[in-house]
Amino acid sequence: MKLTGAQILVQMIKSQGVDTIFGYPGGATIDIHDELDRHDDLRHILVRHEQGAVHAADAYARAHKTVGVALVTSGPGATNTVTGIASAHSDSIPMVVFTGQVPTGLIGNDAFQEVDIVGITRPCTKHNYLVKDPKKLACTIQEAFHIAQSGRPGPVLVDLPKDIIQAQIEFNMPEPTRMRSYKPNYKPNKKQMSKAVEMLKSARRPVMLGGGGIISSQASEEFTKIAKLANIPVTGTLMGLGSYPGSDDNWLGMLGMHGTYRANMSIGHSDLILAAGVRFDDRVTGNIEKFAPQAQIIQIDIDPTSIHKNIEVHCPIVGDCKMALADILDLMEKESPADFQQDREAWLDRINEWKQTTPLKYDQGYDTIKPQYVVEKLYEVTEGKAIVSTEVGQNQMWAAQYYHFDEPNHFITSGGLGVMGFGLPAAIGAKAARPDKLVVNIAGDGSIQMNIQELMTAIASDLDVKIVILNNRFLGMVRQWQELFYDKAYASTDLEKAPDFVKLAEAYGAKGFKCDDPANVTETLKTGLNTPGTVIMEFIVEREESVYPMVPAGGAITDMLLV
């Protein structure tokens, strides 16, 4: 059967079980969009900026537990995806990005809208391809999906010259991908697992630490069962929120720079850390020399290069988190739970004391709204069931601290790269993946303006998202650092001059509500969330509120600035 390159591309995407792609057309991809228009079973969501397409694809992958797909044109279309690709790379999100390219004969000629996107994205993709032979198109696409979702997931880019897309060639569905040079190891070493179980048995002050790897390998159940069986308190990284139920008594809250006091103190005083799917990023460890000085560390990760990278590990386990945790659980279940809980009461009492003396706190008076209060009320009104995307800055940290995620795949944030402008397109991608769910974007007034055009995508595509803007008229997180470390010199962070967000919502065809009275926060949230369609709820919050606790950069995580 002879097909065009565009037809092959669409067939191959569909064969991967993908039902939605996010894109923006141009001269180099017009044939692909023309073909897509004929396929009702592959939905194309037309974004308003290519950065929106990649963030939406990223969130779609997280909420749908599959691969996200974005399609953009050559040149500026391709370069506009770089931030989103780098973000997905930092967060290990499976994504395939198709970029149009000038015809093969023009590559290297500085042709109109030609960029070397393969060169540009080499350091921020898991792998990338320039397809030069139409005969290799189908298997390249298959390989791209295979690489994106296997091993440690990540973004893969496939650059498609226009003549390849227009070529007519014989098409046969390729055999399943087998690559000699790429074989991720999923099966963990049995000896290491027995060693881990022995370490768990002799620990007196253990803590479990869950990261994004638990969520991507869908290992929350096994992770939670181990914690329950051995009665071990659990903390998580920003990417790991939802890997363990946030409303459980043994949940310590997030670890790190803006972690809870009890999480940081528990890690600081632990004698054993069972870490799964985390890469010990500097926001989590603080000063590496002073990180968990008394602890033996078991680290499970699919990527061997993540182990021993930043900290010394005493029991490395290379493999899939789900498989490793399931095996550890099996071994533990063969023994008595009491063997794993010696002196546990004393340890839990100590942690409880940290919780009592130094909880997360803020003071909601009668005059101005505290941003934490809005997030806390949002948690209550939504009963903790919403999928929440965030922007970056204080809003992101308050969402992490005050919205308690009970399930994985419900907190969608740009963790590693920290991209302002991520949250709104991410909410749209999550809603496309989970139309049954309420999806809320918690935003700062600065970040929301970075991809505000995606309001139109939400409305045009009937992907209702609810946006909660914590409007402090500042680039709040930077202002906080200026307050603490630059003598309150608020250079370039004042956002007093701002759009009228209610009118802006209305201009796009959304609904807008504004609230500046603490007494009306709950009502505004209820009204906004119950209003059909896409809605902006703008809360005028305390201008100079800061995120606490805080570990100053370079400090030990137990050395926290408290409120």
Ligand X SMILES: Cc1ncc(C[n+]2csc(CCOP(=O)(O)OP(=O)(O)O)c2C)c(N)n1
Interface with ligand X by CB under 6 A: which residues? Answer: 391-395, 418-421, 444-447, 470, 472, 474-478
Least distance in angstroms from the C-beta of 426 to ligand X? 14
Cα–Cα nearest to 28, from 151, 142, 145, 161: 161
Least distance in angstroms from the C-beta of 375 to ligand X? 11
Between β-strands 511-515 and 466-471, what pairing exists: parallel, antiparallel or unpaired?
unpaired
Nearer to ligand X, 336 or 492 (CB): 492
Residue of this chain nearest to ligand X (CB atom): 444
Nearer to ligand X, 84 or 393 (CB): 393
Residue with tokens 């209820």: 526
Least distance in angstroms from the C-beta of 363 to ligand X? 19
Nearer to ligand X, 214 or 369 (CB): 369
Q: Are 516 and 466 in contact (CB under 8 A)?
A: no
Amino acid at 479: R
Between β-strands 168-170 and 2-4, what pairing exists: parallel, antiparallel or unpaired?
antiparallel
Q: Are 501 and 538 in contact (CB under 8 A)?
A: yes
Three-class SS of residue 141?
A: helix
Least distance in angstroms from the C-beta of 473 to ligand X? 8
Nearer to ligand X, 272 or 470 (CB): 470
DSSP 511: E
What are the backbone angles phi and psi of residue 261, rounded to the nearest 5°? -60, -45
CA distances from 418 to 68, 238, 254, 332, 344 (A): 19, 11, 17, 38, 37
Q: Are 374 and 539 in contact (CB under 8 A)?
A: yes
Least distance in angstroms from the C-beta of 552 to ligand X? 16
Q: What is the DSSP string of 250-288?
A: TEEEE-STT--HHHHHHHHH-SEEEEES----HHHHBSG
Least distance in angstroms from the C-beta of 277 to ligand X? 24
Least distance in angstroms from the C-beta of 347 to ligand X? 35
Nearer to ligand X, 409 or 449 (CB): 449
Helices (H) and strands (E) in the chain, counts: 22, 20
Least distance in angstroms from the C-beta of 100 to ligand X? 25
Least distance in angstroms from the C-beta of 444 to ligand X? 2
Cα–Cα nearest to 563, from 263, 359, 401: 359
Least distance in angstroms from the C-beta of 144 to ligand X? 27
Per the DSSP assignment, residues forming a β-bridge with 150 are none
Taking the C-alpha atoms of residue 230 and residue 243, their distance in angstroms, rounded to an integer, is 17
Q: Are 535 and 528 in contact (CB under 8 A)?
A: yes
Taking the C-alpha atoms of residue 392 and residue 414, their distance in angstroms, rounded to an integer, is 7
Taking the C-alpha atoms of residue 344 and residue 210, their distance in angstroms, rounded to an integer, is 20
Nearer to ligand X, 275 or 442 (CB): 442
Cβ neighbours of 308 (radius 10 Å): 13
Amino acid at 275: A
Residue with tokens 């601290």: 401
Nearer to ligand X, 17 or 499 (CB): 499
Taking the C-alpha atoms of residue 505 and residue 509, their distance in angstroms, rounded to an integer, is 6
Residues with catalytic function: 50, 112-113, 162, 477
Supply the Cα-derived Rg of the chain in whole angstroms.
24
Least distance in angstroms from the C-beta of 54 to ligand X? 13
CA distances from 201 to 129, 224, 321, 335, 503 (A): 48, 17, 20, 10, 60
Cα–chain center distance at 177: 27
Nearer to ligand X, 51 or 264 (CB): 51
Residue ranges of alpha helices (H) inside 104-242 are: 117-121, 137-149, 162-166, 190-202, 212-216, 220-230
Run of H or E residues at 24: strand 20-24
Nearer to ligand X, 91 or 143 (CB): 91
Nearer to ligand X, 157 or 392 (CB): 392
Nearer to ligand X, 209 or 254 (CB): 254
Q: Are 120 and 82 in contact (CB under 8 A)?
A: yes
Q: Are 286 and 556 in contact (CB under 8 A)?
A: yes
Q: Are 475 and 493 in contact (CB under 8 A)?
A: yes
